[in-house]
């Protein structure tokens, strides 16, 4: 507990300047005035050096703030005496240590004396302490808003993350138990509302077993195919872990409601123990240091509804009887009432979906994918080299060695779509496993030359949701434009997964505007440096601009430092230019980025010229938050 305060003191030492008094009488007079003014909180200490004295003084200041907060809380809340009250005070003191150096601003400092008898006095207005808590509650309300937005779009995993993070931060507020916010025109107690909302999301999330397969592999004995849904809608970006009889495996990320659980030893269990992820601690550590510190100090909220027990039997026999039953050489189809993907998609969002033109004679292409699927299952990749062009086989080789790759058994429903002189074969579902137990499921699409029936390229497919956003856009568009956009976005996210710097270099314009956004927290009247995009206020966001070469250098370093990268596009807003800009598209994409050492969620905005043989990216902007004044439409109209 005290180490946290010392750490805070060290940070504040770097942040705030010194105010040295030359006349001891003036110093004494000022200190006495501050001590007598109830509007100030202060701390003072003596030490062998000014730095050590300053750290001790800051620790005393935090103790003073603790006394102030504790007294204020008791005026508004009822706490029992003795042991329970002591525990409350200890937790309140730990909560104060979660406020980072930037949270408590305008701390002033006075020094006098000489080393080794250095004296330091620090003080801050009580209003600054109050402002610190108000700022954190604004952050809580912002996270609730993010959760509501994602919940409306069936992004249940993201909604759970934001709601739980809000609940964690709420625990560090002195009056967090009674804090309220407005929801649908009504004042709600935030803590109660969040608990109820998270429980509802978890309770209404379902995990069903679609298939159980015995596998003849060295490291896998049984493979359990799962379907994950919320209110009968397949979910994406939804994470969970499961117990394999010896340890917890995960996080595993579902794609279009599909995921796989594998067992490597012993007999198959009777019930699958699944825990839905709602905390997302690793993402908090990379996205928000303040939030990460909070999670280290509070009692993490627990929700029993996150635990799901799913029977692996297709009948109703008792657990006792099931335990006696041996499972040898079986591939069991279970849960006959499980709905298939075709009738459990985001149906409410697909009412105006454009139907793509399919191929009439599918046999030649299906034969290629069947042969390809067989080679993947056997690990005999060289045997299918002849099915690819040389460049396409290089991509296939990179894909198949991207972690531990498994072809899933539901590779049954091929679809072949016409796209100019190309036929797109959709899909082969694959599972990608990596050393830290992270697992992803992705569909892989293959693009054939319509004449030679050779595979010319491949890509990781878009999610059903993002594909749907494109296929339900303006019906006046030519069909090729939709496929141009889908193929481009699939190639873009695949370039990150396969670390294809050559592809990214080929699609970025030499004079592309490439920027990353940073929220600007600046005092009124101060000046700042940075490049500002149209539609963004200099008081809100600062953008760092990169040349194409600088951006590719950053990517090269990133690619070399990561075991894997999984880039997933969710919602996609696409706007087409008109007149001289006909064929230029602006896209704003909700993006999730995962790697072994970093993860984030944000919005990627692209301005892409699709009039050439290859797409040309004119503008690329990444922002952590979506801005109303900077969207695909505003970018295209600038």
Give the model's pLDDT for residue 343: 38
Residue 503 is encoded by which pair of tokens? 């592809």
Strand boundaries in 420-564, DSSP class E? 422-433, 439-449, 455-460, 508-519, 541-546
The model's pTM is 0.70
- Residues 411-458: tens digit of each pLDDT: 557 889 998 899 999 888 898 888 767 788 889 999 999 999 999 999
* Adjacency order of strands within the sheet including 508-519: 541-546, 508-519, 616-623, 599-609, 584-595, 565-576
Give the model's pLDDT for residue 423: 94
Give the model's pLDDT for residue 446: 96
Q: Whole-angstrom Cα distance, residue 395 to residue 366?
A: 20
Give the model's pLDDT for residue 94: 62
- Residues 128-156: tens digit of each pLDDT: 888 878 888 998 999 999 899 888 877 89
Write down the mean pLDDT value for the chain: 78
pLDDT at 354 over 60: yes
Pick the range with the lowest mean pLDDT from 19-23, 137-141, 226-230, 307-311. Answer: 19-23
- Residues 269-309: tens digit of each pLDDT: 788 899 999 998 877 776 677 788 888 878 888 999 999 99
pLDDT at 11 over 90: no
- Residues 177-217: tens digit of each pLDDT: 889 999 999 999 999 999 999 999 999 999 999 888 888 77
Q: Whole-angstrom Cα distance, residue 473 to residue 586?
A: 13
Confidence of residue 22 (pLDDT cuts 50, 70, 90): very low
Give the model's pLDDT for residue 545: 83
Instruction: Give me the percent of the chain exceeding a pLDDT of 70.
Output: 77
Give the model's pLDDT for residue 316: 36
Burial (0-12, 13-18, 19+ Cβ within 10 Å), 130? middle
pLDDT at 371 over 90: yes
Q: How far apart are the first and last CA of the chain?
A: 52
Q: Whole-angstrom Cα distance, residue 118 to residue 245?
A: 61
Confidence of residue 104 (pLDDT cuts 50, 70, 90): low
Confidence of residue 98 (pLDDT cuts 50, 70, 90): low
Tell me how far apart the 2 most distant CA atoms of the chain are, in Å: 97
Contact between 622 and 589 under an 8 Å Cβ cutoff? The reply is no
Contact between 109 and 122 under an 8 Å Cβ cutoff? The reply is yes
Q: Is 462 helix (H, G, I), strand (E, B) or coil?
A: coil
Helix axes 156-170, 289-297, angle to 10 degrees: 70
What does the DSSP 8-state code read for residue 630? Answer: B
pLDDT at 112 over 60: yes
Q: Whole-angstrom Cα distance, residue 303 to residue 278?
A: 9
H helices of 77-174, where?
82-96, 126-152, 156-170
- Residues 566-589: tens digit of each pLDDT: 888 888 889 888 888 888 899 999
- Reference 94, options 128, 48, 62, 120; nearest CA is 62
Ordered by where they begin, the domains of the chain are 2-130 (3.10.28.20), 153-314+329-341 (no CATH), 350-461 (3.10.450.50), 470-638 (3.10.450.50)
Burial (0-12, 13-18, 19+ Cβ within 10 Å), 475? exposed
Cα R_g (the chain), whole angstroms: 29
Confidence of residue 347 (pLDDT cuts 50, 70, 90): very low
Exposed e or buried b per residue across 206-224, where buried means at least 16 C-beta atoms within 10 angstroms of its C-beta: ebbbbbbbbbeeeebbbbb
Confidence of residue 171 (pLDDT cuts 50, 70, 90): confident
Q: Whole-angstrom Cα distance, residue 171 to residue 169?
A: 5
Give the model's pLDDT for residue 552: 93
What does the DSSP 8-state code read for residue 388? Answer: B
Location of structure tokens 């394999």: 244
- Residues 54-69: tens digit of each pLDDT: 888 888 887 777 666 6
- Residues 451-485: tens digit of each pLDDT: 999 999 999 999 888 888 888 887 778 768 889 99
Give the model's pLDDT for residue 369: 94
Give the model's pLDDT for residue 331: 31
According to DSSP, the residues that pair with 253 across neighbouring strands are: 239, 440
Give the model's pLDDT for residue 335: 28
């Amino acid at each position: 507990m005290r180490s946290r305060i010392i750490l805070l003191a060290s940070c504040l030492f770097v942040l705030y300047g010194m105010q040295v008094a030359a006349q001891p009488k003036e110093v004494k007079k000022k200190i006495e005035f501050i001590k007598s003014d109830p509007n100030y909180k202060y701390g003072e200490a003596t030490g062998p050096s000014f730095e050590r004295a300053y750290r001790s003084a800051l620790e005393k200041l935090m103790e003073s703030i603790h006394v102030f907060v504790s007294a204020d809380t008791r005026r508004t809340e009822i706490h029992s005496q003795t042991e329970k009250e002591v525990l409350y005070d200890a937790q309140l003191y730990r909560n104060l240590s979660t406020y980072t150096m930037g949270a408590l601003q305008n701390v002033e400092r006075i020094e006098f004396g000489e080393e080794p008898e250095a004296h330091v006095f620090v003080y801050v207005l009580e209003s600054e302490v109050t402002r610190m808590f108000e700022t954190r509650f604004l952050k809580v309300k912002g996270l609730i808003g993010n959760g509501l937005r994602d919940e409306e779009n069936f992004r249940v995993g993201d909604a759970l993350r934001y709601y739980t993070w809000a609940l964690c931060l709420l625990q560090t507020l002195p009056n967090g138990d009674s804090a309220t916010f407005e929801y649908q025109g009504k004042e709600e107690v935030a803590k109660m509302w969040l608990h109820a909302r998270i429980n509802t999301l978890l309770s209404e999330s379902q995990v069903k077993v679609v298939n159980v397969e015995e596998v003849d592999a060295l490291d896998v004995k049984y493979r359990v195919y799962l379907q994950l849904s919320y209110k009968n809608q397949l979910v994406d970006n939804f994470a969970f872990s499961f117990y394999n009889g010896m340890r917890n495996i995960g996080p595993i990320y579902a794609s279009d409601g599909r995921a796989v659980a594998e067992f490597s030893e012993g007999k198959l269990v009777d019930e699958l123990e699944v825990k839905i992820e709602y905390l997302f601690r690793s993402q908090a550590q990379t996205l928000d240091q303040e939030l990460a510190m909070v999670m280290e100090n509070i009692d993490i909220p627990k929700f029993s509804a996150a635990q799901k027990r799913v029977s692996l039997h297709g009948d109703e026999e008792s657990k006792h009887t099931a335990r006696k039953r041996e499972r040898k050489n079986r591939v069991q189809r279970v849960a006959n009432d499980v709905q298939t993907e075709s009738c459990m998609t985001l149906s409410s969002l697909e009412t105006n979906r454009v139907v793509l033109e399919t191929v009439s004679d599918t046999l030649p292409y299906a034969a290629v994918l069947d042969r390809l699927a067989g080679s993947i299952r056997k690990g005999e990749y060289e045997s299918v080299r002849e099915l690819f062009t040389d460049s396409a086989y290089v991509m296939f080789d990179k894909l198949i060695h991207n972690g531990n790759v498994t072809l899933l058994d539901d590779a049954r429903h091929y679809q072949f779509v016409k796209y100019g002189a190309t036929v797109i074969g959709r899909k082969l579902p694959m599972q990608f496993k990596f050393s830290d137990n992270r697992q992803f499921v992705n569909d892989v699409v293959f693009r054939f030359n319509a004449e030679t029936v050779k595979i010319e390229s491949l890509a990781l497919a878009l999610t059903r949701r993002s594909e749907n956003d494109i296929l339900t856009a303006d019906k006046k568009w030519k069909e090729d434009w939709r496929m141009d956009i889908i193929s481009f976005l699939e190639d873009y996210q695949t370039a990150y997964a396969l670390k294809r710097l050559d592809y990214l270099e080929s699609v970025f314009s030499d004079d592309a505007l490439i920027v990353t956004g940073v929220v600007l927290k600046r005092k009124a009247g101060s000046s700042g440096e940075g490049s500002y995009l149209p539609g963004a206020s200099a008081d809100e966001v600062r953008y760092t601009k990169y040349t194409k070469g600088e951006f590719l250098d950053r990517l090269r370093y990133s690619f070399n430092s990561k075991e894997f990268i999984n880039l997933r596009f969710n919602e996609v807003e696409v706007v087409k230019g008109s007149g001289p800009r006909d064929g230029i598209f602006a896209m704003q994409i909700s993006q999730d980025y995962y790697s072994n050492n970093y993860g984030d969620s944000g919005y990627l905005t692209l301005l892409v010229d699709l009039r050439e043989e290859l797409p040309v990216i004119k503008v690329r902007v990444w922002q952590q938050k979506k801005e109303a004044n900077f969207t695909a439409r505003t970018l295209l109209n600038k």
